[in-house]
């Protein structure tokens, strides 16, 4: 149990756990991860036979990391010390672990949320939206990513390699478990109003943002590759359409201004895709790259030399077109070149793509050698 000034409810939770141990006939321990309590929490925990671990780093995740590291049992169950989760029901979690699951999540929306147990903002917007985003982006069949009561084996937790110290710990655990190929399931869990006599530690917008930024940061396909790829395709199509000059479609005229926009989309999209590929490599420590995946096949094909050939070919093609335009301008006696503005735009864009690819190839190769070979 993470604990920060929980003297009013901590003893009640510890007693529930100890009764549950007796009913299950198991040998267990209660580990309280104290995060700097200034009330009687530590005294109460020790008087009831709990083992107290002190964690000076502030944060929900920091406290849990310390407590889990100190736990000696094969199965670890975590939940808050404010009596919002029923510790007497820990047997339901243990039984699921015994069935072979590595991580058992509570689901408050299936188990029931008592009146006053969750603010409307969290119940109808925050939790559903963040859980949906995480479920879609990471393809994990979990409907309540932020339920604070969950169980897992020690071996499974070591494979998760969870690192975050804040509230986003809850999301990272599920995502890391899925990346590690662990078996995950959910069980209905009731949420009760907490019995604190002080405001909760949770801060809606600050902690909601911490969850959201984790979800986005470690989902490079959604953050970079999909939007970047769409921008690139839209821009490349626009440049192909307008390379020879203005186009007239359905009574609408598309000229140099639209070509400039298409060039912007192409360059911006290519850069974002490049960031996404690099993010994929950097994220390989959390999410191993499968050789059979599209990215795995790209890595198998890529060498620095091939990257330089592709980038050099694009840069040379764009430069050759620009040189040709310069020769034409000289041959015309420094005359008007308005008719070739569209070609110049496309040539310069292609050259810039090639130069970017040349330098990106070196960085991509460096990261690839560090993480793959």
**What domains lie within the chain, and their CATH numbers?**
2-217 (3.90.550.10), 220-371 (no CATH)
Q: How confident is the model at residue 340 (pLDDT cuts 50, 70, 90)?
A: confident
Say which residue the tokens 């209660």 belong to: 30
Task: Please give the pLDDT value at position 62.
Answer: 97
Task: Please give the pLDDT value at position 138.
Answer: 94
| Mean pLDDT across 174-192 | 96
Task: Please give the pLDDT value at position 293.
Answer: 87
pLDDT tens for 77-98 read: 999 999 999 999 999 999 999 9
pLDDT tens for 25-42 read: 999 999 999 999 999 999
Please determine, for residue 276, whether its predicted confidence score (pLDDT) is greater than 50.
Answer: yes
Most distant CA pair in the chain: distance in Å? 98
**Mean pLDDT score of the chain:** 93
Task: Please give the pLDDT value at position 287.
Answer: 82
Q: Is-contact 234 263, C-beta < 8 A? A: no
Residue with more model confidence, 76 or 372: 76
Report the range of poorest mean pLDDT among 163-167, 183-187, 237-241, 285-289: 285-289
User: Residue 103 pairs with which residues in a beta bridge?
Assistant: 152, 184
The model carries a pTM of 0.84
Task: Please give the pLDDT value at position 335.
Answer: 77
Distance from C-alpha of 235 to C-alpha of 189, rounded to nearest angstrom: 49
Please determine, for residue 372, whether its predicted confidence score (pLDDT) is greater than 60.
Answer: no
Please determine, for residue 373, whether its predicted confidence score (pLDDT) is greater than 60.
Answer: no
Residue with more model confidence, 186 or 283: 186
Task: Please give the pLDDT value at position 292.
Answer: 85
Q: How confident is the model at residue 135 (pLDDT cuts 50, 70, 90)?
A: very high
Q: How confident is the model at residue 371 (pLDDT cuts 50, 70, 90)?
A: low
């Amino acid at each position: 149990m993470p604990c920060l000034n929980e003297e009013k409810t901590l003893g009640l939770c510890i007693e529930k756990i100890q009764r549950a141990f007796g009913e299950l006939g198991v040998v267990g321990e209660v580990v309280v991860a104290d995060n700097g309590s200034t009330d009687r929490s530590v005294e109460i925990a020790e008087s009831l036979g709990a083992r107290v671990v002190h964690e000076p780093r502030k944060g929900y995740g920091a406290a849990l990391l310390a407590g889990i590291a100190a736990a000696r049992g094969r199965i670890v169950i975590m939940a808050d010390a404010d009596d919002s989760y029923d510790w007497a029901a820990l047997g339901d979690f243990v039984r699921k672990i015994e069935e072979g699951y590595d991580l058992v999540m509570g689901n408050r929306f299936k188990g029931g949320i008592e009146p006053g147990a969750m603010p409307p903002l969290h119940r109808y917007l925050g939790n559903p939206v963040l859980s949906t985003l995480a479920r879609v982006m990471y393809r994990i069949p979990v409907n309540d990513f932020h339920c604070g009561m969950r169980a897992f084996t020690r071996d499974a937790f070591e494979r998760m390699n969870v690192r975050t110290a804040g509230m986003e710990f809850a999301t990272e655990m599920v995502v890391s478990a899925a990346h590690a190929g662990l078996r995950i399931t959910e069980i209905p869990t009731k949420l009760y109003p907490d019995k604190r006599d002080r405001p909760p530690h949770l801060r809606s917008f600050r902690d909601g943002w911490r969850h959201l930024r984790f979800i986005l940061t470690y989902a490079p396909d959604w953050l970079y590759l999909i939007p970047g790829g769409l921008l690139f395709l839209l821009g490349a199509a626009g440049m192909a359409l307008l390379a020879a000059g203005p186009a007239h479609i359905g009574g609408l005229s598309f000229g140099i201004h639209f070509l400039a926009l298409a060039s912007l989309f192409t360059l911006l999209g290519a850069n974002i895709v490049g960031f996404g590929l690099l993010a994929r490599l950097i994220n390989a420590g959390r999410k191993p790259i499968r050789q059979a995946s599209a990215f795995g096949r790209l890595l198998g094909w890529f060498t620095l030399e091939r990257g330089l050939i592709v980038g050099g070919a694009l840069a040379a093609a764009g430069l050759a077109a620009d040189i040709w335009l310069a020769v034409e301008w000289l041959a015309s006696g420094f005359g008007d070149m308005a008719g070739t503005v569209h070609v110049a735009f496309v040539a310069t864009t292609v050259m810039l793509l090639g130069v970017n690819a040349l330098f990106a190839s070196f960085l991509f190769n460096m990261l690839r050698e560090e993480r793959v070979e």
